[in-house]
Structure 1
Amino acid sequence: MHCSISKSGILTLLLCLIFHTLESSITVEAQRINADSLFIAARQAANSGDRTGAIVTCERILTNNPGYQDAHILLSRIYLWDKKYDLAESNINTVIETNPKSFDAWDVKTDLSLWQGNYASCLRDCDAALTYFHDNKALLLKKARAYDGLKKPEMANETLNTLLYIDPQNADGLKLLKSLQDQLKKNRLSFSYSSDYFQSRALEPWKTIYLQYSRKIPIGTLVGRFNYAKRFGIEGVQGEADAYLKISNWNYGYLNIGYSNQSIFPRFRLGGEFYQKLPSAFEASVGFRYLDYKTTDAMIYTAYLGKYSGNWWWSGRTYFKLNGSTSLTALLQTRYYFASRDDYWGVRVNYGVSPDERTNVLTTVTPSLKSSGFRLEYSKQLWPAFTISGAFTYSNTEWMSKRYRNVFSGEIICSYQF
């Protein structure tokens, strides 16, 4: 028994196979075209601020096309904007595992580690990406920023030199280089002069001058300061020393000690504070200030909370005294930074007096007297090594029970780095 297939049967079978193949190809191509159209819509939604709509569209694409890399990358970028870092990492790792030569994927991956402050991870990611994209300017800039975040200015400077050799006019690179050059200078000499003018003409202005030298060391910064003041016709001097010491990458300490044998200064002052870096660019601290005069003393406790947001710095600080008469001081302050840490303007409002203000040392031991006011400040780096700062302060101070006077203060500070 045998069977035979006619020529017409063979032709029919071939035509069926051809039509099936064409149908499958057309279906795949239609799905690809549809996915491309949806992706364009998702990208437009993300750029216009409709992140939720963009996420929904990307997920729709990935339901039928799980390997559509652009959708994974866009999802990662949106999750990064929304600070949903785990979701961003999951999506971007999916792309890098299958296509390690995708620059867009590495661009998101390096931003992910940099934005979270994971500078060591960012360095590893940048080095991995640079094996595929040699001398890429965006990756070199992120690598320099990661070194800067790790407090390695020499390595950051070396990376920036490579970037600026490729692109000498790179604005972001030049801005970071200027900041690094300031960090690489270990010494700073500062001179300050301030004068307080009282509403009552019977009281002559108070004068305060200090000369300060600071030196960066591997574990922090050491500061020496010589203070001079003239108040109530009495002159006096005081010596002080500060230390800002790194404990770990997440915390550091502050110490202060001072001595004077003149009555207008505390005979002895001592301070200490512990600072802790927190997630989302927050920082907090707790500490104390001790002031010892010949006839009285004061133990003052302090707490601080600050946050950096873009070019802005916001902070709140409180001082409170528990022994003897209880008192509370509160300060709110903000600064907007420009090209460097020495270029900024700021505003501060306060209720009460601060023991960290050198002109207030006479009033911090009698904190039951009330005070309120504000301070305006501006600082400008005129040359790479020279900075000038100015401040105006107004306060309404209770100098006797229920008797107040206005005080207007001006201060100028000149600093030289070398």
Structure 2
Amino acid sequence: MMMASLRYILFATILLTGFTAHAQLFKKGSGDADALYEQAVQATKQKQYAKAIALSKQALAKQPDFVDQQLLLGRLYMLTGDNKNARVQVNAVIAKAPRYRDAYFYAINIEMTEKKYEEAGCFVDEALYEFPNDKELMLKKLSIMDASGKFYRGDSYAPQLLDRFPEDTTVRNAYIGHYLMAADVYKRAGNSVMAKTNYEKVLAIQPANEEAKAAITTMYVQNRNYTSALEQVNAELATNPKSYELLMKKLGLQEQMHAYPDALATLKEVLKYYPNDSKARQMETQLRMDAAGYYTDTDPYMLYQSVLEKSPGNRAALDKVIGLSMSRGAYREALAWINRGLKSNPNDQRLLGLKADVLEADRKFTEAATITGRLRQLNPGSTDLRNRYTYLKVQSGRDYLAQQQYDLAIAELENARQVSPSDTTVLDMLANTYIGRRDYNRALTALDNALSYYPNNPRFLTKKSSVLAEMGRYDEAAEIVETLLNNHPNDERYASTFVDLRLTAGRILMQSEEYDMARQQFALVLAQAPDNLDALNYMINLQSATKQADSALAYADQGLSYYPDNKDLLLKKSAALTELKRYAEANDINAQLLQRYPFTLRYKTAYTDGLLQQGQEYQRNNQPDSALQAFRKVLSMNRRDSLALLYSINIYSSRGQNDSALALAQEGLRYYPSQETFLQKRVVSLENQQRYAEAALAADSLVKLNGSAANTDYADFLRSKTLKNQFGLYYLNTQYDYSDNRYQVATLEYRRFIKRGSIAGRISYAGRAQGTGIQGELEAFINHSKSLYSYGIATYSNEVAFPQLRLGYSIFKTFKHDIEAELGARYLKADSVESIAGVVSLAKTFNDFWVNGRAYFISDSSDFYTSFNLTTRYYMNRGQDFLSVFAGLGTSPDDRSRLIAFPQLSGLLTRSVGAGYQKTIKYRNTLSINGTWINQKIGDSQFQNQYDIYLMFLRKF
């Protein structure tokens, strides 16, 4: 089914779960109308017209301005024969969308079906107002004129149409069809003058049109204008002399005109080409009978024949009968009378000469040459007989050539050459025969022989050049032509041949990828004819193929200096400018071409490609606004252009204009619903807008379309972003080499993810001889901007196994080159000791590695000291998992395993090293294990060791 823009593609509806699903069930929007439209299209294809009409009406009830749907409904009424309702729908579409081209065709067809030609003409005029140079509409207008019988209007309109589209086959056929229809109508109406005029207009455009030729001939015969009819048949025979049908038609006309000698000559031609045709042989006797009756008692031939019957030896009567037979083309009778005379006098030179004449007139050149040979023997010094013998041998050779009997033809021509070795006709024909057989070596020998007699003969030199060219010896061929050109500088034929030879040589060298040698050939052409369009085009193509865009541009400019409006040269210049990255100049040319030829696809494609490349160049030069402007021009011509859509989406995404990026991604999905790239862009845009629920659903569709590991991982990541809660379980096990006691802590956590970060609450348990330690903890991460966030923590316990109070705050700032800095403070109260610490840290990412150095500056009531930590992580599995290695010097207030003994450990020389591994499963479950060894110096030569194992499990929900 033809649709105006082909723009409506099935929009895949995603049904959401929960509240979203409920909302979608009750949302009646354009998506429902699109779905109904697609169902109606499918029903139409299956010829379920009643169902398609019902679906169309439902869609229009939901979206009354849906013009594609309304036009489909009009078409459905047309298919079911309901033109009344079809007219209503189609007219409504035209009123709503005057530029909807297909609607006019439907409207015109409706009126044509009901033979309302005036109304159809109004619609086609309206359409041509909107689309003034539309070829199909112009052809439609001509067909309306013809259908309504207004041929006088078509007579003025058809030539205008042909002038506008002179090379278009469809237009030529419509032009011819118009005049054939008009001629037929006039002929049936008895207006032979107008019928003949229209048939002649057809033949002026298409001389071989059988219908027109046959009709004109028939009209001549019907009007008894046999002379004109015979002229028409002779004109056709000039291009097809062996046509049986035309020869028989000519014979019939001559018989009607009582031109019996001419008719007998024509019959002879028929029998020559079709010797076994029974109809022609039967006609011969009847034709002679008719001629005899027509010429009874008045024909001298009959009178002289009667004399010979009474006096067989009468030479004068014999000569007369022979002469009359020959004059009437009755060569068989003439030959019979000559043979009758030669029986009594076999060496009669006059009769032999007459026999040779008769045989020659009957085109029996071989036999005529044999007779002439006998006469030469009787008269060996006769120049006339030598010349005639040569002529007859040449004609015999021609006949053999016509019958493609080349060996016999060559034998005849060689006989002629032996008698007349310098005869130019013989020499020329011998060369032509060898050339025709593609026996180029013998052809060269024949031509060299001819040139030995006529060394400067232009014809022989030209043929030798042609033969050399056919043998691929183009340089030799061109040298000959160049000589001819020097001798005849004003002869355009030699200049043209020289150019053709060099062009041919250049083309062959190009095909062999001998570009330098081909370039030399084309340069020679341009030196001779600087405006030669073929050479210019080849030069441009060569320079472009060898990446010499500057030279290609120079030749394009040279060509345009001669042909300023040549569209091919303009297009090539545009391509060279594009190669030179002069996109603005290239696009100016492409825009001009597109304006001149708005319906030529290659100019539209060139302009579109140029704009895309220009836009990409703007992107590389960090000019996004200019790039967007270029891409918008592309989309204004073709809103379905996938590259322009994708490039625009990328720019909007990089600038944080996610609404615009999302709109274009959805537009792309309308046209390419199975295109993974647009679906990915839609998912990313939704993610950037933090619309994680919609992004996750879109990502699920992406996985259905392409279930790659990357797409599945992305869907899992986005699904995790929709989860606002997290359960955590931590376990710390500490052992000492100086005590049998173990320090074990179990922690439960609940975390809530909010728009600007997360808030968590924890409760920790630790068993001790003196009781069970319980600690409550609140923790928060708050995002202030993309590069700034805060961390805060507050804990309170019953002072069994935990410090009584701990407070902490840090602010983090991200800088360029993936550098993050921290500035914070810590407060700790335990065993009646209070400490305050300042914290600074610096982190940097190197590809898959993350390194963080942190320093604590701690002050309590008795002293001031420092602590340092260095942590390195190696990220794996697209950043979900990591291995970590860490080392520390001193005890920090963030070290959970030593906080209970922090007052006693402060100031001691403490070293620690550890390693850990964290694994995240589908961004929802996180498992972690860390091991740390701590060495503390408690005296001059006394050390004690501590070993920590820290386990963690997190689950988002």
With normalisation by structure 1, the TM-score equals 0.74
Q: How does 1:261-340 map to 2 (within 5 A)?
A: 261-262=798-799, 264-308=801-845, 312-322=849-859, 324-338=863-877
Shift of 1:224: 0.6
| CA–CA distance in structure 2, aligned partners of residues 28 and 207 of structure 1 | 83
1:54 equivalent in structure 2: none
2:541 equivalent in structure 1: 29
Secondary structure of residue in 1 paired with 2:580: helix
Shift of 1:188: 1.4
2:708 equivalent in structure 1: 170
CA displacement 1:395-415 (0-9 Å, x = unmatched): 222345663222221122222
1:215 aligns with 2:758: no
| CA–CA distance in structure 1, aligned partners of residues 915 and 633 of structure 2 | 55
| CA–CA distance in structure 1, aligned partners of residues 711 and 827 of structure 2 | 44
1:124 equivalent in structure 2: 660
Shift of 1:223: 0.6
Shift of 1:364: 4.3
1:204 to 738, 741, 747: 741
Shift of 1:71: 7.5
1:45 equivalent in structure 2: none
Q: Is the 8 A contact 2:809 2:824 kept in 1?
A: yes
1:46 equivalent in structure 2: none
Q: Which runs of 5+ in 1 are unaligned?
A: 1-7, 39-58, 80-85
1:242 aligns with 2:779: yes
Q: Is the 8 A contact 1:289 1:355 kept in 2?
A: yes
1:398 equivalent in structure 2: 937
Change (3 A) 1:36 1:203: farther
- Higher share in strand: 1
Secondary structure of residue in 1 paired with 2:679: helix
Match for 1:249: what amino acid? K
Change (3 A) 1:314 1:142: farther
1:347 aligns with 2:889: no
Change (3 A) 1:31 1:76: farther
CA displacement 1:180-235 (0-9 Å, x = unmatched): 222222211112112112222x3422112211111112332111111223468764
Q: Which runs of 5+ in 2 are unaligned?
A: 1-489, 500-527, 551-576, 587-608
| CA–CA distance in structure 2, aligned partners of residues 97 and 30 of structure 1 | 34
1:256 aligns with 2:793: yes
1:185 to 706, 723, 739: 723
CA displacement 1:60-119 (0-9 Å, x = unmatched): 953677759698788789x6xxxxxx54859966964665577567656656776x6x5x
Match for 2:580: what amino acid? L
Change (3 A) 1:129 1:309: farther
Match for 1:334: what amino acid? R
CA displacement 1:278-333 (0-9 Å, x = unmatched): 33444332111111224221111222333456554443332222563131322223
Change (3 A) 1:409 1:233: farther
| CA–CA distance in structure 1, aligned partners of residues 630 and 544 of structure 2 | 18
Shift of 1:160: 1.3
| CA–CA distance in structure 2, aligned partners of residues 307 and 26 of structure 1 | 58
Secondary structure of residue in 2 paired with 1:359: helix
2:693 to 154, 170, 174: 154
1:62 equivalent in structure 2: 580
Secondary structure of residue in 1 paired with 2:799: coil
Does 1 or 2 have the higher relative contact order (CA < 8 Å, sep 6+)? Answer: 1
Change (3 A) 1:400 1:92: farther
Q: CA RMSD in A?
A: 4.1
| CA–CA distance in structure 2, aligned partners of residues 33 and 155 of structure 1 | 49
CA displacement 1:219-273 (0-9 Å, x = unmatched): 3211111122346876422111011122233322222111123154222111112
Q: Is the 8 A contact 2:717 2:922 kept in 1?
A: no
| CA–CA distance in structure 2, aligned partners of residues 22 and 188 of structure 1 | 75
Change (3 A) 1:166 1:281: same
CA displacement 1:374-403 (0-9 Å, x = unmatched): 222223346775443222112222345663
1:53 equivalent in structure 2: none
Secondary structure of residue in 2 paired with 1:368: coil
Change (3 A) 1:241 1:371: same
Q: Is the 8 A contact 2:757 2:780 kept in 1?
A: yes
Return 219-228 or 149-158, whichever deviates more.
149-158
Secondary structure of residue in 2 paired with 1:151: coil
- Higher share in helix: 2
2:947 equivalent in structure 1: 408
Q: Is the 8 A contact 2:763 2:776 kept in 1?
A: yes
Secondary structure of residue in 2 paired with 1:32: helix
With normalisation by structure 2, the TM-score equals 0.35
Q: Is the 8 A contact 2:867 2:892 kept in 1?
A: no
Q: How many residues align?
A: 378
Identity %: 19
1:50 equivalent in structure 2: none
Match for 1:253: what amino acid? S
CA displacement 1:112-147 (0-9 Å, x = unmatched): 776x6x5x2366346436635634312432442343
Change (3 A) 1:402 1:107: farther
Q: Is the 8 A contact 1:312 1:337 kept in 2?
A: no
Match for 1:388: what amino acid? L
1:82 equivalent in structure 2: none
Q: Is the 8 A contact 1:314 1:333 kept in 2?
A: yes
Return 232-241 or 324-333, whichever deviates more.
232-241
Structure number with greater Rg is 2
| CA–CA distance in structure 1, aligned partners of residues 915 and 886 of structure 2 | 7
